Amino acid sequence: MKIYTKTGDKGTTSLVYGTRVAKNDPLVDAYGTCDEANTLIGLAVGHLNAEFFDEKEELLKVFHEIQTTLFHVGAELATPKGKEVKWKLAEEDITKLEQWIDQYDDAVPTLSNFILPGGHPSGATFHVARTVVRRAERTVLSIGEDVSPNVLAYLNRLSDFLFVAARLVNQRLGRVERGLHEK
pLDDT tens string 29-61: 999 999 999 999 999 999 988 777 778 889 999
Question: Structural domain boundaries of the chain?
Answer: 25-173
Looking at 49-148, list the stretches that DSSP marks H as alpha helix, in order from N- to C-terminal side.
56-77, 91-105, 121-143
Mean pLDDT along residues 16-30: 89
Give residue 85's pLDDT.
87
Confidence band, pLDDT 50/70/90 cuts, at residue 76: very high
pLDDT tens string 108-165: 999 888 988 999 999 999 999 999 999 999 999 988 878 899 999 999 999 999 999 9
Q: With CA atoms as reference, report the closest residue to 171 among 129, 128, 130, 115.
A: 115
Are the C-beta atoms of residues 66 and 113 closer than 8 Å to each other?
no
Pairing outcome for strands 12-14 and 20-22:
antiparallel
**Count of C-beta atoms within a 10 Å radius of residue 133:** 29
Third-level CATH fold of 25-173: Hypothetical Protein Ta1238; Chain: A; (1.20.1200)
Give residue 34's pLDDT.
97
Are the C-beta atoms of residues 45 and 2 closer than 8 Å to each other?
no
Which pTM does this prediction carry? Answer: 0.92
Cα of 8 vs its chain's centroid, Å: 26
